[in-house]
Amino acid sequence: MNAPLPYFLDHIWLIPLFPLATAAVMLFYGRRLKNSMVNYLCVGSVFLSFIYSFGAFLQLTAMPAAERTAIKILFEWIPAGPYHMLNGRISNFLADWGFQLDPLSAVMILVVTGVGFLIHVYSTGYMAHEGGYYRFFGYLNLFMFSMLMLVLANNLLLLFVGWEGVGTCSYLLIGFYFHKKSASDAGKKAFIVNRIGDAGFLLGIFLTSALLGTIRFAEIGPALAAGHFALGDPRIVAIALLFFVGATGKSAQIPLYVWLPDAMEGPTPVSALIHAATMVTAGVYMVTRTNAIYQLAPAAMAVVAVIGAVTAIFAASMGVVQNDIKKVLAYSTISQLGYMFLALGVGAFAAGIFHLMTHAFFKGLLFLAAGSVIHALSGEQDMQKMGALSGKIRKTYFTMLIATLAIAGVPPLAGFFSKDEILGHAFRHSHLLWFIGWVTAGMTAFYMSRLLFLTFHGQSRVDHEVEHHIHESPNSMLVPLMILAVLSIIGGWIGVGGRFEHFLAPVVHIQRHTEGFQHVPLLGQEGVLHSEEARKGLEQDLEATTPAAPAEELILMGASVAIAFAGIALAWFLYLKRTDLPAKIAKSLNGFYDLVFHKYYVDELYDAMFVNRAKDLGLALGAFDRNVIDGAGVNGAGWLTRFVSKVSMWWDTWIVDGSVRLGSFFVYCLGFVSKFLETGYVQNYMLLIVVGLIGVLAYYFYLAHHVIH
Amino acid sequence: MFSQAVFYFFAALAVTSAILMVTRRNIIHGAVFLITTLLATAGIFLQLDAEFLFVVQIILYVGGIMVLFVFVIMLVNLDVSMRLVQFNHQRFVAGALALVLGAQVFLALKVGPGVMPHPAQQIMSPKNTEAVGDALFTHYMLPFEIASILLLVAMIGAVVMAKRRV
Amino acid sequence: MMHLIPPAIVPYVLPVVYALVIVAVLPLMAGYIVLLERKVMADMQARLGPMRVGPHGLLQPIADAVKLLLKEDIVPREADRLMFYVAPLVSVTMALLAYAAMPFGPAFQIADLNVGLLFILAVSSLGIYGIVLGGWASNSHYSLLGALRSAAQLVSYETAAGLGLVSGLLLAGSLSMKDIVQAQADQGVWFILVAPIGFFVYLVGSIAETNRAPFDLPEAESELVAGYMTEYSGFRWSLYFLAEYANMIIVAGIATTLFLGGWLRPFPRIHEHLFGTSVELLDALPSLIFLAIGLYCFRLTPRQPVQIQKFVMAAAGGLCLLLAGAMAASLFAPPTVMQGVHGGFWFMVKVMAYLYAFLWIRFTFPRYRFDQLMRLGWRFLIPLALVNVIGVGTAIVLQQQWGWNPRVTELVTLAATIGVAIWLASEDEKPVAAVVAADGE
Amino acid sequence: MISPEHYLMLSLALFTIGVIGVLTRRNVIIILMSIELILNAVNINLVAFSRLYGDVNGQVFAIFIITDAAAEAAVGLGIILAFFRNRETLLADEMDLLKW
């Protein structure tokens, strides 16, 4: 940007810096700090970043819609120099440490810092009595830093840095109670599963730079334009699919979703922040960020949509039978993420991001409320041992209720709008996908209200020693709950009338008049904004996006609302009215229930297919190392060396030393003769000197005599 | 005339006391006769107009080195060694050879043709000390310094040698 | 009567006369210094000291000399006779030999060697043989230890004293005693004022060289009966005694010559005339002093108890008057004579002052332990003397090459040297390994 | 006037005596003293020739020789002391550790 940026936009790089600083302080000096100090530092730093993010957001919106992009490059990070692209042209690889703020990342940082701040406040109450307080907050701030780097990066590589950072922090935080084996295992699982996805993502990055010659988002569009790639160019498709592999890893989509349920071992605020609100949405963000590529790859888009839809219904079905309150929320998270990917897949990027935001609100709220419930029941997580809590902890109950309604998609709460957007787009794209989404919505409503009823209504099944000290959580936990509740209510309204899409349009926009995927690749980046006719095209595009609310939209809306209420009603019927039915149903369709209850044995399958194979491979490699490498290589070399040394020793002893000894023997013989001169008396030596002197003088006399005569 | 008398007196003193020094059984007496020899030599230096060297000879040799000798002689009590035979088993042949050597040199000095030139007698400058100092500190600066280093080393060496517990 | 003397030996007449005078007077002087010492000691200890022999013990030295001469001469059986005889002679000979270059006055000097100072040092350093050989020859442990000690002590302190003198030499720029005095006359300042540190070092060094308290280890009666003199008695003993006092006078003379302006009159710039006459007040001072002493003697005469003492006292008074007359007469003699007589007077006065300092120190300070003595010599005096030499040399160079103000340079270097001295003193607290030569057996 | 030969003869005599002492005496201290005597003879030569040629270089060398003599005496006597403490003897022909 040549024009001087306003203050906040010029200082976006400070936003990740605050959490990083406090994280450093915590991890190096935290042990010596008092908890209050930790609170001030960490929460304060996150609040500061929130302030800066908000200011940046305002100053961004102040700019004209077409130019809402602020790029701040701090320094050249990896100036790797020139290299050959696939098409043989020379390109100069340059990854700079730069920050890019456009509507997309603006939304993201707002969500991250806002929700993050609330969850920090919540944590000060929730973790108050835990050990390793400073460690927890240090990790949390480190995560904030990484996440902000992720969403603010201006190139793929820097984004990957944040990507790995959040992965590491999630590993550390899942294993926060590292003394519990399940916790540390879960951490490892999450880490390894993420590795798989990250590998794909990294390959994608390589391929991008090899194909397009740049990894800057701002230049991807122009590069695509310059490259004149045909629609569905296989190389582009490959890139898109590789990126999506990464996305599945990070965002827990089939087939890499298995780590998220186990990740619930971590502290509840962590589940709320990382595994519901922010990190798991990184994949969505990434796909949206690179939508220019996806729009050139219809096949990849199809894959994304299908995977998303399947994940959604699949996870929802598993959520129905879970008894662990957090597990239920985990599966619902997975299915909601599936929703988002469905949206991306059908090209409704804005809708995806919209759902991401609202989901961050109500899912974070759900987790926090669940945490509050667990807090109240002093660590009880099994819903079978809950019930009838609505009277005892009212505030938590109401917030939970609001969140449930929101996720269930009851108007006019947040979930309704975003989900409706997605379903609308899906319907427009293919009815099958819409149907899956629709059923999923129903199941969502069902299991969420099941959770609500089992927890708060019916008769109490709480253990007695737990019973009599059930207590409402402290304000530090309740206030964030309420704020999030408010947001879950009103969060969706900003999307009414496509305002959200308008806002995101500069980043993502699709020509709607084209049918399905048959649209010319439109490069949603500044790349075209700088050319005049493209700007005009975008302007008319922006009017075009205002939906003319035709009848089908209303019908769809009604359908989703209807199935939401249907799900709630079914849950009410099964778990409040006829509480004996669920067991009967489970018994009646026994095998299927087991299948679902055991999560379709996917974990076992993976164990059998990959994990054990990996272990076998390790064992085989170990055996190879022991026998072949050590045996043949090392020991063989050792044997050879010893043999050679034996030979050389013989040579040394008999030939080399032999000659030396011969010489010394010779010298000894000489010495034996001459030692008789060696009397050891100094005066003898002096006498010899005198004799020599006399001899010399005599010689000179002899000479003189001859000279004379 | 006078200076000749001086020379002969000192020369005779030097030679006789030197002979005594070599032959005395008592080391202290030997040391005393060596002192006498050195003093006589100093006298000869004086007769050779080398006042400074005369003084140096007395201060350094007689007043310094010989004091050290006497000192050590007193430290090592020698009434034991006084009763032993003073000459070693090679005394006769050694003495004879030494005399032969002396005779050879004498011969070389006497009959050797042109062994020593006879330049005219120079007049020494009356300021002998200044002259020596001048030569010592200008032309012989480096040897002078080297000599000082030598003395330092000798001092350290002597201390280390003579210490009770090395 | 000069014409009676054959011309060949004319140049040798005057020195011989001087030598005879010195040899004749020195023992007497030594004796009277002893008397002075005893009197001073008595005074410092609130006693009277010798009063019997002669008035106020004036004849005590003579009586002592007679006693010593009449004493039996004992030689230990196990002693090494030759050495036992020779040693005291060596001592006293070397002591007397040193006087050859001692300038008592501008004319009163046996031989003005151009290495005079070094000559005196050399010869007086030979005196040690007398002590060492004597101590060894008398074949007694006390004597041997005394000898060893004195050997170590003299060798150590000769260095310090010599280095102390070097500063004076640098200032004078000559080794001839006469030139040194002359230099002080020309520069118009006694070198003690320019190089006080050098003077101090030489003072201490000379005390140690003459085996005087507090450095009289070789004859420390409390440890070794009388040190190297234990086995001696009678005349030989008195020879050692004579040698010691002669040495004292020598070191005093050296100090006087180098640092106290030799035979020069103090305050040469003051020319106050004695009421109107052409005689300067300070020139008349000697005769006035003698006059006063003589009159005092006469005043004391009637109080003497015995007749003979009256006579002696009167004689002493007469002698003083005679000297006063001589001094006064020399004022009107040709200047060379006047210079000679007065120079001699001032020289002796300064020597006496120096000796008085000796006595003073002796009766003031306790005796050192031997390792303390060695430490003082090697670790304080010698480094200090070296630094002092450097300082004085620097001052001279600054004055002559760069024309700095003499006083300023002297003050600066003096301050520096004193600083070093203080540092050395603080260093001196630390213990030092006993010097090798120190512990003989 | 005395011709240089006189001095040469004198120094020759002293030198020879010194050599005899070095070669024949058993006592190490005497041997050292004889060495001093030899050095002294050399000094006489040097001074005589410096007088002969009328410059002081000879005397300077004599001074250096005296310095070396001092160093040699110091070290030598130190060695003798140490040796005497260890072997209780001063006789050169008893110092035969180098004998085969």
Whether A694 contacts chain B with CB within 8 A: yes
Partner-chain contact A697 B105, CB within 8 Å:
yes
Q: How confident is the model over D15-68, as pLDDT tens digits? A: 999 999 988 888 888 899 999 999 999 999 898 888 877 788 888 999 999 999
Residues A420-439, mean pLDDT to the nearest whole number:
87
Closest CA to B55 of A615, A9, C126: C126
CA distance B132 to chain D (A): 6
Residues A271-282, mean pLDDT to the nearest whole number:
88
What was the pLDDT predicted at A414?
87
Q: Which of A679, A686, A690 sits opposite D99 (nearest CB)?
A: A679
Q: Which of B59, B71, B75 sits opposite C125 (nearest CB)?
A: B59
Question: Please, what is the average pLDDT of chain C?
Answer: 82
Q: How many residues does chain D have?
A: 100
Q: What is the chain B residue with the closest CA to D48?
A: B48
Give yes or no for residue A264 having a pLDDT over 70: yes
Bridging pattern class, strands A70-84 and A90-101: antiparallel
Q: How confident is the model over A139-186, as pLDDT tens digits? A: 999 999 999 999 999 999 999 999 999 999 999 999 998 888 989 999
Look at residue D25 and give its three-state secondary structure: strand
Partner-chain contact B62 C175, CB within 8 Å:
no
Contact A319, A203 (CB under 8 A): no
Question: How far apart, in whole angstroms, are the C-alpha atoms of residue C237 and residue C229?
Answer: 7
Partner-chain contact D79 B161, CB within 8 Å:
yes
Least confident piece of the model among A324-328, B121-125, C103-107, C330-334: B121-125
Give yes or no for residue C116 having a pLDDT over 80: yes
Q: How confident is the model over B26-53, as pLDDT tens digits? A: 888 888 899 999 999 998 888 888 888 8
Which CATH architecture best describes the domain B1-86?
A: Up-down Bundle (1.20)
Name the pLDDT band for A549 (thresholds 50, 70, 90). low
Q: Which of D92, D98, D100 sits opposite A683 (nearest CB)?
A: D92
What was the pLDDT predicted at C129?
87
Q: Which residues of B touch C151 (CB under 8 A)?
A: 67, 70-71
Q: Which residues of D touch B151 (CB under 8 A)?
A: 67, 70-71
Whether C111 contacts chain B with CB within 8 A: no
Determine, yes or no, domain membership for D48: yes
Tell me A324's DSSP state: B
CA distance D66 to chain A (A): 22
CA distance D24 to chain A (A): 8
Name the pLDDT band for C261 (thresholds 50, 70, 90). confident
Partner-chain contact B90 A687, CB within 8 Å:
yes
Give yes or no for residue A353 having a pLDDT over 50: yes
Partner-chain contact D53 B122, CB within 8 Å:
yes
ipTM associated with this complex: 0.75
Q: Which residues of D touch B37 (CB under 8 A)?
A: 14, 37, 40
In this prediction the pTM is 0.54
Determine, yes or no, domain membership for D58: yes
**Residues of chain D numbered 51-70 and touching chain A (CB < 8 Å):** none
Q: Which of D12, D26, D75 sits opposite B157 (nearest CB)?
A: D75
Q: Which residue's structure tokens are 């019908």?
A: A555
Residues C90-111, mean pLDDT to the nearest whole number:
84
Give yes or no for residue C433 having a pLDDT over 70: no
Partner-chain contact B63 C175, CB within 8 Å:
no
Q: Which residues of B touch A677 (CB under 8 A)?
A: none
Q: Which residues of D touch B119 (CB under 8 A)?
A: 52-53
Q: Do B and D have ≥3 inter-chain CB pairs under 8 A?
A: yes
* Residues above pLDDT 90, as percent of chain A: 34
What was the pLDDT predicted at A514?
35
When divided into structural domains, chain D yields a total of 1
Whether B54 contacts chain C with CB within 8 A: yes
Determine, yes or no, domain membership for D85: yes
What was the pLDDT predicted at A528?
36
What was the pLDDT predicted at B112?
61
Partner-chain contact B55 C119, CB within 8 Å:
yes
Partner-chain contact D92 A680, CB within 8 Å:
no
Determine, yes or no, domain membership for D1: no
Whether B105 contacts chain A with CB within 8 A: yes
Q: How confident is the model over C286-312, as pLDDT tens digits? A: 888 888 888 888 888 888 888 888 888
**Residues of chain A numbered 654-693 and touching chain B (CB < 8 Å):** 681, 683-684, 687, 690-691, 693
Contact A450, A324 (CB under 8 A): no
CA distance B94 to chain A (A): 6
Give yes or no for residue B119 having a pLDDT over 60: no
Residues A189-209, mean pLDDT to the nearest whole number:
91
The continuous run of DSSP H or E covering A90 comes out as: strand A90-101
Determine, yes or no, domain membership for D76: yes
CA distance B101 to chain A (A): 6
What was the pLDDT predicted at C220?
67
Q: What is the chain B residue with the closest CA to C143?
A: B74
Q: Which of B101, B112, B113 sits opposite A694 (nearest CB)?
A: B101
Look at residue A151 and give its three-state secondary structure: helix
**Concatenated DSSP letters of A256-305:** STTHHHHGGGS-HHHHHIIIIISGGGHHHHHHHHTHHHHHT-HHHHHHHH
Q: Which residues of C touch B130 (CB under 8 A)?
A: none
Interface test with C, best of B71, B82, B155, B161 (most C CBs within 10 A): B71
Q: Which CATH number is D59's domain given?
A: 1.10.287.3510
Q: Which residue's structure tokens are 């030969």?
A: D5
What residues contact A133, with CB distance under 8 A and at least 6 apart? A35, A38, A127
Q: What is the chain D residue with the closest CA to A672?
A: D100
Give yes or no for residue C317 having a pLDDT over 70: yes
Q: What is the chain D residue with the closest CA to B105?
A: D12
Q: What are phi and psi of A457, to 5 degrees?
A: -110, -165
Name the pLDDT band for A517 (thresholds 50, 70, 90). very low
Write out the residue range of the structural domain in which residue D44 sits. 26-90
Give yes or no for residue C388 having a pLDDT over 80: yes
One-letter identity of residue C361? I
Residues C59-86, mean pLDDT to the nearest whole number:
84
- Using alpha carbons, list the distances in angstroms from residue C89 to B26, C153, C242: 21, 21, 11
Q: What is the chain C residue with the closest CA to B126?
A: C114
Partner-chain contact B56 D75, CB within 8 Å:
no
Residues A414-432, mean pLDDT to the nearest whole number:
86
What was the pLDDT predicted at A651?
92
Q: How confident is the model over A655-681, as pLDDT tens digits? A: 999 999 999 999 999 988 887 777 777
What was the pLDDT predicted at A681?
79
Residues A518-538, mean pLDDT to the nearest whole number:
42
Q: Do A and C have ≥3 inter-chain CB pairs under 8 A?
A: no
Query: Using CB atoms, which chains have 3+ pairs under 8 A with C?
Result: B
Contact A339, A423 (CB under 8 A): no
Question: How far apart, in whole angstroms, are the C-alpha atoms of residue B75 and residue D26?
Answer: 18
Rounded to a whole number of angstroms, the distance between the first and last alpha carbons of chain A is: 113
Encoded tokens for B138: 């200008």
Give yes or no for residue A387 having a pLDDT over 60: yes
What was the pLDDT predicted at A527?
35
What's the angle, vertex CA A33, arms to CA A19 and CA A126, rounded to 5?
70
Q: Where are the domains of chain B?
A: 1-86, 88-122, 125-166
CA distance B96 to chain C (A): 32
Question: How far apart, in whole angstroms, are the C-alpha atoms of residue A231 and residue A46?
Answer: 43
Encoded tokens for C220: 């420390």
What residues contact B68, with CB distance under 8 A and at least 6 apart? C155, D73, D74, D77
Question: How far apart, in whole angstroms, are the C-alpha atoms of residue A413 and residue C144?
Answer: 121
